[in-house]
Copies of this chain bind each other. A is one copy, B any other.
Amino acid sequence: MTREQIINQIKEKKSFLCVGLDPDTEKIPAFLLEEEDPIFEFNKQIIDATAAFCVSYKPNNAFYEAYGLSGIESLEKTIRYIKTQYPDHFVIADAKRGDIGNTSKMYAKAFFNRLHADAITVAPYMGSDSVQPFLEFDNKWAIVLGLTSNTGSADFQQQQINGKELYLHVIETCAQWGNDKNMMFVVGATKAQLLVEIRKIIPNHFLLVPGVGAQGGSLEEVCKYGLTKDIGLLVNSSRNIIYASNGTDFAEKASAEAEKMANDMRQIILNF
């Protein structure tokens, strides 16, 4: 998917919401467990209920790999469903991969050619040759971890190298390997003010922003410091939406939560 397609979709919907598809059989409605593929059935209903309010879906691989082969099959079916029913939606495989060059290339093939994801999240610790193979596919995206939303981000990401935090080095360095048409960065909503410095380095790149909602980040803060003329943000919400209810009304409640976030985004865009 091209940058223009993403921007067009955002401007049309006045939403930059990404819905995180992190299914957990201990949390999804119990009656779904009787289905042949409970995880896919859950995702399908969540997708149908939220597609009008979001521009992107982000399945996190861990939640599928935890169920072995059947989980991977549910993931494949989920992405295929989105790609056939809602082809304008941007599909992010949140897999946080990264390995030596020839191995990262295998991962890129797995996620782009086989799974048909539009983007994959990438861990930068191993450097250039671990990231670059993900940039060599037309209209596919590497979304590099910059500053994550968890407490552990303090351990290394926020340590200073020559007076500048590691995550700023990572963003600055990785940005040189790609461009704003094949690379985005993960920046957690829980540290919204830090977006000021980040936007000085990458004024035009899209940012994938987790941490709004369950993790405590604020949509207003993120937009105040991160929004650009092309919007430039994909704000993710997972648990708040997909687990809004665990009864028979789960899809309805998920829809309402997604609509609420989309409405907030619409107001922010209109007032920008």
Contact = CB atoms under 8 A, between A and B. Distances in A.
A131 B155 CA distance: 11
A127 interface: yes
Question: Among A76, A115, A128, which residue has the most Cβ atoms of chain B within 10 A?
Answer: A128
Interface stretch (A3-11, A29-37, A94-102, A247-255): A94-102
Interface string A59-78: 01011011111001100100
Interface string A79-97: 0000000000000001011
B73 A69 contact: yes
A157 B62 CA distance: 26
Contacts of A131: 152
A139 interface: no
Given A65-B107, A66-B109, A159-B161, A127 B100 contact: no
Assembly of this chain: how many copies? 2
A271 interface: no
A127 to B, nearest CB: 2
A69 B76 contact: yes
A193 interface: no
A104 B62 contact: yes
B100 A98 contact: no
Interface stretch (A143-151, A198-206, A218-226, A227-235): A143-151
A119 interface: no
A169 B99 CA distance: 20
Contact of A145 (B69, B126, B128): B126
A196 interface: no
Contacts of A156: 124-125, 127, 166, 169-170, 173
A129 B149 CA distance: 11
9 contacts: A24-B106, A62-B110, A72-B72, A96-B126, A101-B152, A126-B157, A127-B152, A129-B152, A130-B150
Going nearest first, the 6 A-B pairs with the smallest beta carbon separation are A127-B152, A127-B155, A62-B106, A65-B110, A100-B150, A128-B152
Interface of A: 22, 24, 60, 62-63, 65-69, 72-73, 76, 94, 96-101, 103-104, 106-107, 109-110, 114-115, 123-131, 145, 148-157, 159-162, 166, 169-170, 173
